[in-house]
Structure 1
Amino acid sequence: MSKTFTSERVVVLGGDDPKKPVKRSFGHVAENVDDEKLIAFGKIVAEITGDALIAINVTDVHQVKEDPAA
């Protein structure tokens, strides 16, 4: 079996109510972005939208294939 990175998505959650956050999604993020860069990005999004930063969710997408029998 082989596992290949295909994409990474980031969702920045903001707003005044953590129970009903505003979700802003971003795709085509580079593989293995470090936490410091993600936090800096989230703060920029919060600043330009005027919303408080609640959280940042990161989803890695990998493609899994079965290797052909040798």
Structure 2
Amino acid sequence: MLSDVMTYFGLKRTLDHVGYFETEDQTNLFKELKLQVRQGRLIAVTGVVGCGKSTTLQRLQLELAEEKDIIAVFT
């Protein structure tokens, strides 16, 4: 299926290793999320499709895992 999509859109390389650009607002939001998680609060992340909810939660999980904090994601 991936090869079909790549052919259809004329892509030469997969997007597995693309970068992530973060605005100042996103940086501040991320800091606030980390603070709230550390305080033991339940957090709901909502938004329109494609706004970065999953990406934000994945980054939060990775960073907290590196810091030895714990996060659970329920979908």
TM-score category, normalised to shorter length:
0.3 to 0.5
More strand by share: 1
Higher helix share: 2
- TM-score, scaled to structure 1: 0.37
- TM-score scaled by structure 2? 0.35
Greater relative contact order structure (CA < 8 Å, 6+ sep): 1
